[in-house]
Amino acid sequence: MWVMKKKMKNEIKKSARHPDYFEVVVEGIKDKLGVIIEGQTVISEKFDRKFDEAAVRFDKFEQQTNNNFKTVFSFIDKTEDDFKTVFGYLSSIDEALAHR
């Protein structure tokens, strides 16, 4: 503990002897923060571009999926109509055979 106190006193004395020391430290921190902010800005812009690209791809996928569902539903409707036609035809044959 005594060593720590002595070390802290030496640092305080050093700072008192060198008034520019604090300014140099602050300037270094400011420069490092500037680099960090710049890096975060670049990363943020990159994420924004990727999110925009993903949104476009998702919209395209959604449109393709909707078109595919329309095709499938159209096929189902046509198939149901075809079954109704066949059912009607077979029902008329059954009725004709039943009356013989």
Axis-axis angle for helices 2-17, 19-98 (nearest 10): 110
Q: How many domains are there within the chain?
A: 1
Written as one letter, the residue type at 12 is I
Alpha-carbon gap, residue 36 to 43, rounded angstroms: 10
pLDDT tens for each residue of 45-98? 999 999 999 999 999 999 999 999 999 999 999 999 999 999 999 999 988 888
Residue 13: per-residue pLDDT: 55
Residues in Cβ contact with 21 at an 8 Å cutoff, skipping those fewer than 6 apart: 14, 15
Alpha-carbon gap, residue 15 to 32, rounded angstroms: 21
Structure tokens at 89: 């035809």
Residue 100: per-residue pLDDT: 73
CA distances from 46 to 5, 27, 35, 49, 86 (A): 48, 29, 17, 5, 59
Domain around 60 = 2-98
pLDDT tens for each residue of 17-46? 566 788 888 899 999 999 999 999 999 999
pTM above threshold 0.85: no
Residue 70: per-residue pLDDT: 96
